[in-house]
Chain A
Amino acid sequence: MSVLVLSGIKFAYSGSNRKVLDGVDLSIEKGEAVLISGPSGGGKTTLCLVAATIIPTRVQGDFSGMAELMGQGTRKLGPSGASEYVGYVMQEPEFSMIMPTVEDEIAFGLENRGREPAEVAVAVEGVMTRLGMEGLAGRDPRRLSSGEKQLVAMASAVVHKPQLVILDEALSGLDDDKRALALAELDAMRQGGAALLIAEHAGTGRQAPFLSARRYVLQDGRLAEEVSG
C-alpha cells in the first residue's frame, strides 16, 4: 500500500479562477523521499496542504481528483484522522505553536494520543537530543528565533513517528549543524519506513542526494519529474 496517492488533483482557491494545482499525479511509497521544487507561487505549499488533508477539508476552494493517505480518502480522513499518519512542518511554524514551553509543545501530540507520561518524556527528550535542542529546554517556543522555531516544529512533527513527514521549506532557516542533525533524523526515519515529502526551492535541495530523493518540479500547477544528470 502506498503511503500517499494523488491522482489528477486540481485546485483553485476560493475567489480565484487560477488553478494552483492543475492535474497533479504523485504517489509515495514507504521509505521513499520526494523533493518538490519550483518557482514562487508554483503550488508547492498547496500540494503540501493536499497531502496533509487540510485541502479540501479545511481550506475552501474548487477541488477535484483523488487523494489517498494510507489507503484512505483524505476528504473522509480529515486533519484529525490524518494526524496519526502525518507529521507536517509548515513554512511558518509559529502559527502551529500553542504550548508554553518547548517540551510541552513537542509533547502535545503524544499526550493527545493518550500516551503514558513516562513514555512521552522519554520520546521528547530523545528527539530533543537527536536534534541538538538541549539548550532550548524550558524556553517559550514563541520567543525563539525563526530557525529555532523550525527545529521545535520538526521535533513536534516527528516525535510520534508518522508514516509521512511533510516539510514545507522547513530546513531553510537552519544553520549547517542543525540542518545536518535534521537530515540525519529524517534519513533514519526514511530507512525505518517513513515517507518524506519535501518542498524546497530549486537550487536549495542539497539534501536530495543525502535522502536518495526522487525530484520533481512543480510549475504552473503541473508536476514534472526532474531527470538527473
Chain B
Amino acid sequence: MRAVSFESVGFSYPGSRQDKSSKQVFEGLTLTLVPGKVYVMSGPNGCGKSTFAKLMTGMLKPDSGRILIGENDMVWMGLSDIGKHVGLVMQNPSRQLIMQKPVDEIAFGLIHRGMQKDEAANVAKAALRDYKLTEIADTPTQKLSKGEQVRLAMASVAVLEPDWLLLDESLSCLDGASRSKVLDKVARLVRHGGGALIISHSKDLAYELGAIRILIERGGVSVVV
C-alpha cells in the first residue's frame, strides 16, 4: 500500500468562452496521505475539494508541482495504472456509470483487468448482494435513485480493491443502513492497510471515524489530527 503525496501542487481551471477568467484553485499545495488512515476533507463550497479528488485520481493534471503514488510521479502513469491504486466514487455517480445493467457495471472493471467474464459476473452478483442491490439488478443504472447509484458506484470501485478509496460527498445521499455498510467497507480497507479520503460537510464524521481532518479554505490547507 502506497502513500499519496502532493508536492507543491498548483492547479487552475482555464477560462472558457463565456467565463474568460481562469480560476486558481491550488498553489504550492504540499500534503501526504499515509495508508492505514481515514481522512475527512471539508471546506466551503467551491474551495477545491472535488478538484483535489480529481487530481488524486489523475482525471486532472497539476499545472505545477507533482503528485506521487509511492515513488511514482502520476504524470507518467496511465489512468488504468492509477486506477489500481485509487478508486473514486464521484459526487454525481451517474457520471461514472456507463453500463446498462448494474451487474455489468460491476463486472466492467474486472473484465478490463483481465478476469474471465463468467468469474467477473459471479463476483459482481456477490457484490450486488453485499450492497443490497439485488432487487434492482435489472433496473437500468441511469434509472436508479441517487443513493442506489452511489452504492453501485461504491461496489464497482470496491471489487477492484484499490489501495485508496475516495468518496466525494457520497455519504450525504445514503440512508442510515447504506451509510453504515459503506463505512464498514472503509474500515475494512483501512484495517488491511489501505486508506480512505472522504469529502463531507459533516463536522461530526471525522470524530465518528477517528479520522484525520483536512480543512481546505481558499488559499490554504490545514490538517487537524
For A40, give its contact among B49, B92, B178 (CB under 8 Å). Answer: B178
* Smallest CB gap from A174: residue in B: B45
Q: Residue B172 contacts which of A38, A138, A204 (CB distance < 8 angstroms)?
A: A204
Choose among A40, A100, A138, A175 the residue that contacts B148 (Cβ–Cβ < 8 A).
A40
B201 CB within 8 Å of chain A: yes
The interface-forming segment of A28-36, A50-58, A143-151 is A143-151
From B97-105, B108-116, B122-130, B139-147, the one touching the partner chain is: B139-147
Specify the main secondary structure of chain A where it touches its partner.
loop
Q: Does B210 contact A (CB under 8 A)?
A: no
Q: Which residues in B have their C-beta under 8 angstroms from that of A94?
A: 92
Contacts of A203 in B (CB 8 A): 176
CB of A180 within 8 Å of the partner chain: no
Interface residue from A138, A140, A172, A176 paired with B169 (Cβ < 8 Å): A172
8 residue pairs A–B, Cβ–Cβ below 8 Å: A41-B136, A41-B147, A42-B145, A91-B173, A92-B146, A94-B92, A146-B169, A176-B201
* A173 and B201 contact, CB distance less than 8 A: yes
Considering only CB atoms and an 8 Å cut-off, how many residues of chain A contact the other chain? 37
| Other-chain contact of A13, B42, B143, B151, B177 (Cβ < 8 Å) | B143
Q: Which of B42, B92, B94, B177 contacts A39 (CB 8 A)?
A: B177
Which residues in B have their C-beta under 8 angstroms from that of A38? 175
The smallest C-beta distance from B160 to any residue of chain A, in angstroms, reads: 23
8 A-B pairs with least C-beta separation:
A40-B147, A147-B45, A140-B19, A100-B18, A39-B175, A172-B172, A175-B44, A41-B145
Chain B residues with CB under 8 Å of A100's CB are 18-19
What is the CA–CA distance of A139 and B139 in the complex, to the nearest angstrom?
Answer: 37
Say yes or no: is B134 at the interface (Cβ < 8 Å to chain A): no
Check: B207 CB closer than 8 A to any chain A CB.
Answer: no
Chain A residues positioned under 8 Å from B176 (CB to CB)? 201-203
Contact status A45-B146, CB under 8 Å:
yes
Alpha-carbon separation in the docked complex, A44 to B177 (Å): 17
Interface residues of B in 18-67 (CB under 8 A from A): 18-19, 21, 23, 42-47, 49-50
Chain A residues positioned under 8 Å from B49 (CB to CB)? 145
Whether a CB of chain B sits under 8 angstroms from the CB of A116 is: no
A144 to B145, CA, bound (A): 23
Question: Which chain B residue lies CB-closest to A101?
Answer: B18
B12 within 8 A of A: no
- Whether B91 is near chain A, meaning CB under 8 Å from some CB there, is yes
Q: Which residues of chain B from 124 to 180 have any CB-CB distance to chain A below 8 Å in the complex?
A: 136, 139, 143-148, 150-151, 169, 172-178
A91 to B172, CA, bound (A): 12
Report whether A92 and B169 are in contact in the complex, using a CB–CB cutoff of 8 Å: no
Chain B residues within an 8 Å CB radius of A151: 45
